Amino acid sequence: MAASNDPFGARTRIQTALGERVVYRLDAVLGAAQAAALPYSIKVLLEACLRNLDGFVIEEGHVKALAGYDAKRASEVEIPFMPGRVVLQDFTGVPAVVDLAAMRSGIVRMTGDEGAAKRVNPIVPCDLVVDHSVQVDAFGSADALRINSELEFQRNRERYELLKWAQQAFDNFRVVPPATGIVHQVNLEYLAKVVWDGADVAGQERTLYPDSVVGTDSHTTMINGLGVLGWGVGGIEAEAVMLSQPIYMLIPEVVGVELVGRLPEGATATDMVLRVTELLRGHGVVGKFVEFHGPGLDEMPLANRATVANMAPEYGATTGFFPVDERTLQYLALSGRDPKLVAAVEQYCKLQGLWREPGRRAVYSEDLRLDLGSIEPSLAGPRRPQDRVALAAMKQTWRQDLSTVFGKPAPTRLSTPESAANEGMPAAEEENGGCAGGPG
């Protein structure tokens, strides 16, 4: 999608650790007060519109609508959003590759020109990660990985030959082979850049812009823990983005969740995300962005952020976004990213107001608060994560649920085999053993 003009004067060049790069400065359309009030995730949408502005698909009115974002009346204007890249997993990615191959064949049949087929390519960078077909045949030995990988390629030879051909035939298309990792892990540890260093919209100059992604898996939202705006879409939507068609969406409401305190000893990221899911399900965030902020992020490791972001489909939000900060840079360095890229990420995010500044508080459609110090070890079923039960209350909850099943009042103490027989109920285990004392 090529920009025909720069009516806001946003396009400029800066010197970075990567060399001279073009950027589209948000302060060209945002005053200081607007920049301070705008949620970080909305700034990512604004930059995408500003950079891809062509006066046809993306118009000046879309930029102005985002720049004048009204948190209390957000969902009244539709905007086109052009994500920076696409991530596919193999279930939906292989059909997408077949569709592109079919388009090439169709062009050759219609024109007779073999060379014309090469014009069918993904326009935006696209990565396909093979992660759903791996199965375990061998285990418990040093050769298990090799054996399983060999069997994997034998079983799926035809499919993998297609993917290898596609990687060689199409531009902007890469394949991550099986036995490498699940798609979200690979996206977080390898594919994501936080700030993308690519060609500009006209394909001429190197440009820095916020990394953003759509993926064909609902849990693509995990990447928001790294400060990369992204969510899951269907296969048709992903193909459209691959071919440079934007996603049309109402400007989203953004729910701000202020995190304070720190996790107590013994509480894990799983305990935290169960509490967050319970909080957000109770509040109602379907179709909204959720943005986490506050001093509780100062010491929160990126693994915990990714865990919370990953659960966005469970608490119903489009995304659960964490702004870029020092923890983001530490993770990029830890996972082997180019030091020059890490330096450029910091420079760019601070220039564009995408860096999480302590004390800065954006204006959100709704505000929630969660004290991380109140998190306690908990349990929840995989299908209903919002039905959280504190581990300390597990015994009494088990008794009540069991009594409900049998239509009897909940016992105030553990039953003995004799009393249970008299009451027509199964006896609970002794205090120090069995399932009545806990999940084991």
pLDDT at residue 426, as a whole number: 47
Residue 251 within any structural domain of the chain: no
Residue 177 within any structural domain of the chain: yes
Q: Which of residues 229, 258, 292 is at a domain's end?
A: 229
Residue 308 within any structural domain of the chain: no
Query: What is the residue range of 148's domain?
Result: 86-229
H or E, element range at 11: strand 11-16
Query: How far apart (Å, rounded) are the C-alpha atoms in residues 24 and 6?
Result: 9
Judge contact between 346 and 325, C-beta under 8 A.
no
Q: What is the distance between the terminal CA atoms of the chain, rounded to a whole angstrom? A: 57
Token pair, residue 356, equals: 């999480």
pLDDT at residue 410, as a whole number: 64
Work out the burial of residue 249: count CB atoms within 10 Å of its CB; fewer than 13 is exposed, 13-18 middle, 19 or more buried.
Answer: middle
Q: How many CB atoms lie within 10 A of CB 28?
A: 16
pLDDT at residue 178, as a whole number: 83
Average pLDDT, the chain: 88
Does the pLDDT of residue 259 top 70, yes or no?
yes
Q: Which of residues 178, 198, 229 is at a domain's end?
A: 229
| Total tally of structural domains belonging to the chain | 2
Query: How far apart (Å, rounded) are the C-alpha atoms in residues 112 and 90?
Result: 32
pLDDT tens-digit profile of 389-426? 888 888 888 888 888 877 777 666 555 555 445 444 44
Residue 404 within any structural domain of the chain: yes
**Strand 173-176, strand 126-129: pairing:** parallel
Phi, psi of 344 (to 5 degrees): -65, -35
Going along 311-431, which residue ranges are E strands? 319-321, 366-371, 378-379, 389-390
pLDDT tens-digit profile of 195-248? 999 875 555 689 999 999 999 999 999 999 999 999 999 989 999 999 999 999
pLDDT at residue 440, as a whole number: 36
pLDDT band at 385 (very low <50, low <70, confident <90, very high): confident
Residue 167 within any structural domain of the chain: yes
Query: How far apart (Å, rounded) are the C-alpha atoms in residues 130 and 282?
Result: 36
Residue 371 within any structural domain of the chain: no
Phi, psi of 254 (to 5 degrees): -120, 120
CA-based nearest residue to 81, from 210, 257, 218, 236: 210
Query: How far apart (Å, rounded) are the C-alpha atoms in residues 292 and 279?
Result: 13
CATH of the domain at 193: 3.30.499.10
What's the residue count for the chain? 440
pLDDT tens-digit profile of 162-194? 999 999 999 999 999 887 888 999 999 999 999
Residue 110 within any structural domain of the chain: yes
pLDDT band at 47 (very low <50, low <70, confident <90, very high): very high
SS3 sequence of 104-163: HHHHHHHHCCCHHHHHCCCCCCEEEECCCCCCCCCCCCCCHHHHHHHHHHHHCHHHHHHH
Q: Which of residues 229, 247, 276 is at a domain's end?
A: 229
Work out the burial of residue 389: count CB atoms within 10 Å of its CB; fewer than 13 is exposed, 13-18 middle, 19 or more buried.
Answer: middle
Does the pLDDT of residue 279 top 60, yes or no?
yes
Judge contact between 400 and 390, C-beta under 8 A.
no
* Residue 321 CA: distances (Å) to CA of 174, 271, 305, 328: 26, 19, 9, 13
pLDDT tens-digit profile of 289-335? 999 999 999 999 999 999 999 999 999 999 999 999 999 999 999 99
H or E, element range at 418: helix 417-423
With pLDDT > 70 as the criterion, what percentage of the chain qualifies? 89
pLDDT at residue 398, as a whole number: 82
* pTM, full prediction: 0.86
Q: How many CB atoms lie within 10 A of CB 124?
A: 19
- Concatenating the DSSP letter of every residue in 51-78 gives HT--SSSS-HHHHHHHHT--GGG-TTSE
pLDDT at residue 358, as a whole number: 85
Residue 200 within any structural domain of the chain: yes
pLDDT at residue 435, as a whole number: 37
Instruction: Supply the DSSP symbol for 426.
Output: P
